[in-house]
Amino acid sequence: MLNQMLYNGQYVSGLGSEIDVVNPATLDTITTFKSATPKQLDDAVKASFDSFNLWKNISDVELKFILARIGQDIKAARDEIAELITLEQGKPLELAKLEVDMGIYWLEVTNSFEIPIKENKDSLGKKIKVYHHPIGVVASITPWNWPFMIAIWHIIPALKAKNCVINKPSEYTPLSTIRLIDIINKYIPKGVCNIVLGDGEIGSNLSNHPLIEKVIFTGSTPTGQKILASSVEQFRQVTLELGGNDVAIVLEDVDIDKIAPKIFASAFFNSGQTCACIKRLYVHDQVYEGLVKKLVEIADSQIIGNGFDKMTTLGPVQNIKQYQKLKILIEKAIKNGAHIENTRKLILPDTGYFLPPLILTNVLESSEIFTTEQFGPVLPIVKFSSIEDVINNSNHSSYALGGSIWTEDINKAEKIANQMQSGTVWINSHSDVSPYAEFGGWKMSGIGSTFGLDGLLQFTKRQSIHLSE
């Protein structure tokens, strides 16, 4: 099992503090790694900087071939990587395999894009060409919820745009990302793609390093604010995919049996530990009781346990900090009058950070569990009768990552969607992002976007060339 940093083409043991990687289902220590020191981090960034001039001049044909070979190797290592994900993150093994599969799919689609040269003529007939050039060294800081897939989302577009990359994974889930960097380094020059290990302080030092030209970060809004603030002095580019408190609005004309499984899956996917999960649900009063009842039936049928158990449908919360935060949120909500609708007490393992999937009603819209991103297996539900009020109330949030409308009337849904303050709106689905469609948050949910050609081009800097005869 790989547990070291990899930079400048070499595996390197950290010289800093020791950090345990803990299995959240068993609380066993999987491995222990040593964090990078500031000097080691500086060495890694300089190695990446020194490799940029070589990498930025790679031919498009060779680059496409290299990325394709990387994808093939990931496919060959699929089961191994999935097991690492389940060990460190906790999700069921089949979901971990899906995470690897989705990473491969994103890689293949990203590799299919061609970075364009746009050509225009002005009113005087002068030709103008717009080129997209590599930025330089990109810092990638990835989270613990989808460690492998989000690393793909960061690293592959950066490489496709001919940048060098240094990744700092979450200290909770570094193992699957180390394996990814190991595969990538089989095919690229040393120093082009690197990984350093450590806690948030190492991530902060990386994002503040003077040789870093762009930071892409997926994680909490407070950390994103710090990265943005530190980027101002150097005018460093940033892409920030931050917290979401996604809303779903269910109208009165829905087929409850049809939508309930989809809503449950979109809320409790990965035990609710997904930025674009449904985190607050508005249901029209005409279908409220029926939908709540159906969601409770689905919740009460779940099997909570170790991700390696084939019967498990929902795994643990990934770490103790998040586990304790969720317990406090739920306790506060109940003290403020929220009601747990679940009728069956699910059996939880004796060890591990396990919580049952909770359906909460009688929730105040002003309560913390409704206004805050819970990031766990709990779904607060509010009844409504006026769609205008719901649109206004749902928009009254600091977060604006995603939202959804559930109805048989697609035209009505599209009109509502255009009134929602959200980077992405789904109709009759939620969370199903696409490598072809740009994805990013508004307000406190982020800056910039990823995915699609537009997302790829955010790893470039534009240059206009004016050609006069």
Q: Phi and psi for 401 in degrees, rounded to 5?
A: -90, -60
- Choose among 300, 283, 277: nearest CA to 359: 300
Specify burial of residue 409 (Cβ count, 10 A radius: 0-12, 13-18, 19+): middle
Please give the Cα distance from 8 to 45 (Å, whole number). 9
Q: Which amino acid is at 210?
A: P
Instruction: Say if CB 438 and CB 455 are below 8 A apart.
Output: yes
- The DSSP code for 396 is S
- Choose among 55, 223, 221: nearest CA to 136: 55
- The DSSP code for 138 is E
Paired tokens of 266: 């979109």
Chain mean position to CA 383 = 29
Instruction: Say if CB 246 and CB 277 are below 8 A apart.
Output: yes
Specify burial of residue 123 (Cβ count, 10 A radius: 0-12, 13-18, 19+): exposed
* H or E element at residue 267: helix 256-268
Check if 297 is active-site.
Answer: no
| Active-site entry in 88, 99, 241, 341 | 241
Please give the Cα distance from 270 to 39 (Å, whole number). 37
Active-site residue list: 241
